[in-house]
Amino acid sequence: MAYKQQWNTLPRWVQGALHTVLGLAAVAAVGYLGYWLAGVLLAHVAGVGLYAAVLWKAAGALLLISLVLLALGTSEIPAGKTKPRRNRPHHDSAAD
């Protein structure tokens, strides 16, 4: 059986879980590589010491994390203005 056929026989939730795990692993690998490369470049090109390189790497990582979290925290819906719920049955406590 070919790989594509085997993949299509898996349930959708398994496919989604595998995509999620592989995606997170890829993001972690690229992040680690970038972090390592920044340390090497700071130490060799800029001529800074080890402690200064660690300080600037940590500051850069903190800046990137704050930008990502800020972007994830923004919403199209203003505070206090939520979308109405549709097709939700109303619970009548008097009928119980």
Going residue by residue through the chain (96 aa), what tens digit of pLDDT does each one get? 688 888 889 899 999 999 999 999 998 999 889 888 877 887 777 777 777 777 877 888 888 888 877 877 666 666 666 666 666 666 666 655
Residue 5 within any structural domain of the chain: no
Residue 19, domain member (yes or no): no
User: Scanning the structure block, which residue is given the tokens 């009928």?
Assistant: 95
In the chain, count H helices and then E strands.
3, 0
d(CA 32, CA 7): 30
C-alpha triplet 10, 14, 18: angle, nearest 5°: 115
**Does residue 3 sit within a domain?**
no
Using CA atoms, how far apart are residues 31 and 63, in angstroms rounded to an integer? 14
Give the pLDDT score at 23. Answer: 92
Is 65 inside a domain boundary? yes
Structural domain boundaries, residue 39? 33-72
Residue 93 lies in a domain: no
Q: Is 44 within a domain? A: yes
Total domains, the chain: 1
